[in-house]
Chain A
Amino acid sequence: MEKLSFELALKKLEESVEQLESGELELEESIKVFEQGIELSLFCRKELSQAEGKIQWLVKNLGGEFELLDFEV
């Protein structure tokens, strides 16, 4: 399966919430949607805290390869 993107996860989470709030689901289905919603929200939280937050300088070196240099603003 393709890796879930944050955007998609957020959208699915929103759908889960609305579905559950509609109150139209059977109990068993409700529990499934609820569990999925919680999983999605945890996934989103993890995604939010994953990036390292570097600032780097992209150059092409003499060999024509990309090189990322740390950079302080």
Chain B
Amino acid sequence: MKEILTVTELNSYIANLLDSDPFLGQLWLRGEISGFRLYQQSGHMYFTLKDEDSTISAVMFKSRARGLKFKPKDGMEVLLRASVSVFARQGKYQLYVEEMQPYGIGGLFLYLEELKKKLAAKGYFAPERKKAIPAFVQRVGIVTSQDGAALRDICRILKQRHPGVEVVLVHSSVQGSEAPGELAEGLRLLNSYGEVELIIIGRGGGSYEDLMAFNSELVVQAIYESNIPVISAVGHEVDFTLADLVADLRAATPSQAASLAVADMQALSRQLDNYQQRLLRAMQRKLLYYTEIIDRLMMKRIWKQPRSLLHMREELLSQLEKRLSRGMTETFREKKMRLSMNVAALDSLSPLKIMERGYVLLQKEGRIIRDEQQVQIGDRLEVAMRHADLEIEVIKKERVKRWKS
């Protein structure tokens, strides 16, 4: 026999069941508001959301309702984010609304503007926190649908540019209520795997509503938190999704994302060729330069006629010799001239010359007599004349004055 439950136990069992379901924990849905009531005292909003065939009760608490940018009214089509849980007291499940926007492009736009403002204020889109895309990527992570055209486009372009590139795919739905959670989870998975240098997250083009997942806070958050650079590739040219704004680089299409992700190997190979050629050319120029210098040096006579240096020296030597001997001759001649001048001077001073003029040399016993006191009367003196010697006797001695001195 099975255990008998109380109603409360049953309701709480069901509540647990619903609360543990991740899908019901966070979902987007649209519908028409009916039976809208705003409780003045509590500030909570209660209404029923319906489409053609069914209805569901909804509550939006004051804390959430405060952020509403519009006044909900019966008959209004809305888009809302909510969780589903059990209201145990009445034994019914209902929507607990987190956010709500008027539906339709206008409404969606309003909602996006609001979210964008909020995320911008948190600095999610700031250029300075964007990571650089590595220039040379070998392993690319992709988060997209395995069945989508986007994956085929990305892989085709990747292979075309870089045949050796490795691709690590994480499959995720890209539209519908599960897409935001799966896309975000895909990014986290690649981050914890860690073996890719770059992540492309995206999908092919679609309607504005199809792209909603890329506007979801979950995806924006996951891109923001990624340690690996992220390229967003949502296939639409004109409008930006919030994923585009937060991504490190935005590509307009998946193909463009692939082009941005990896370097073109042919171009790189050409660049390498270019570098190699320039290295060779520059080196050749350098060697040529030195060769020319060496050639120029070798052209000099000294290398062609090693004896010429010797000749030069010999020439110098003989020149020096010539100069030396010329110098010697000069000196000699000068000396000779000075000698003959001296001789002439000597000659004019010689006693013989004086004697020629009639002077004589008076000597006594070989000594020259200069003074009358050296002689006495009767002394025998010798007189030397120019051409004769006389012997004389002193017979008189008298002192005279020849000229006044």
- Residues of A participating in the B interface, judged by any CB pair closer than 8 Å: 5-7, 10, 13-14, 16-17, 20-21, 23, 25, 27, 30-31, 34, 37-38, 41, 44-45, 47-60, 66, 68, 71, 73
Query: Chain B residues with Cβ under 8 A from A34's Cβ?
Result: 279, 282-283
B67 on interface, CB distance cutoff 8 Å = no
Query: Chain A residues with Cβ under 8 A from B168's Cβ?
Result: 56-58, 68
Closest CB pairs A-B (n = 6): A51-B164, A20-B282, A55-B167, A37-B279, A6-B136, A34-B283
Contact A53 B171 (CB under 8 A): no
Q: How far is the CA of A38 from the CA of B300 in the complex (A)?
A: 37
Smallest CB separation, A33 vs chain B (Å)? 8
B165 on interface, CB distance cutoff 8 Å = yes
The chain B residue sitting closest to A9, CB to CB, is B136
Query: Chain A residues with Cβ under 8 A from B278's Cβ?
Result: 17, 20-21
Q: A50-B164, A66-B193, A73-B152 are in contact. Are A55 and B279 (CB under 8 A)?
A: no
Contact B279 A58 (CB under 8 A): no
Smallest CB separation, A65 vs chain B (Å)? 10
Smallest CB separation, B38 vs chain A (Å)? 46
B325 on interface, CB distance cutoff 8 Å = no
Q: A7-B135, A17-B282, A57-B146 are in contact. Are A27 and B290 (CB under 8 A)?
A: yes
The one of A31, A50, A57 in contact with B169, judged by C-beta atoms closer than 8 angstroms, is A57
Smallest CB separation, A51 vs chain B (Å)? 3
Give B317-335 interface residues, CB cut-off 8 Å to A: none
Contact A49 B283 (CB under 8 A): no
B285 on interface, CB distance cutoff 8 Å = yes
Query: Chain B residues with Cβ under 8 A from A49's Cβ?
Result: 164
- Complex interface bits, B139-179 against A, C-beta within 8 A gives 1, otherwise 0: 10100001000011001100100111111111100000000
Known: A34-B279, A37-B276, A73-B155. 19 other contacts (CB 8 A): A5-B136, A10-B136, A13-B272, A16-B279, A21-B278, A23-B282, A23-B289, A27-B290, A30-B282, A37-B279, A41-B276, A45-B269, A48-B269, A53-B164, A53-B166, A56-B166, A57-B146, A58-B141, A66-B193
B68 on interface, CB distance cutoff 8 Å = no
A-B contact pairs, 15 of them (CB 8 A): A17-B278, A20-B279, A23-B282, A23-B286, A31-B283, A34-B283, A37-B275, A41-B272, A48-B265, A48-B272, A55-B166, A56-B166, A56-B169, A58-B193, A59-B170
Q: A21-B278, A34-B283, A41-B275 are in contact. Are A54 and B167 (CB under 8 A)?
A: yes
Q: A27-B286, A30-B286, A60-B189 are in contact. Are A55 and B155 (CB under 8 A)?
A: yes
- Complex interface bits, B111-146 against A, C-beta within 8 A gives 1, otherwise 0: 000000000000000000000001110110100001
The chain A residue sitting closest to B289, CB to CB, is A23
Give B286-307 interface residues, CB cut-off 8 Å to A: 286, 289-290
Q: How far is the CA of A20 from the CA of B279 in the complex (A)?
A: 7
Give B185-223 interface residues, CB cut-off 8 Å to A: 189-190, 193
Query: Chain A residues with Cβ under 8 A from B190's Cβ?
Result: 58
Contact B138 A51 (CB under 8 A): yes
Give B241-271 interface residues, CB cut-off 8 Å to A: 265, 268-269, 271
Query: Chain A residues with Cβ under 8 A from B159's Cβ?
Result: 53
Query: Chain A residues with Cβ under 8 A from B135's Cβ?
Result: 7, 10
Q: How far is the CA of A20 from the CA of B138 in the complex (A)?
A: 30
Contact B275 A17 (CB under 8 A): yes
Smallest CB separation, A14 vs chain B (Å)? 7
Q: A7-B134, A34-B283, A48-B269 are in contact. Are A13 and B169 (CB under 8 A)?
A: no
Q: A5-B136, A30-B286, A60-B189 are in contact. Are A51 and B279 (CB under 8 A)?
A: no
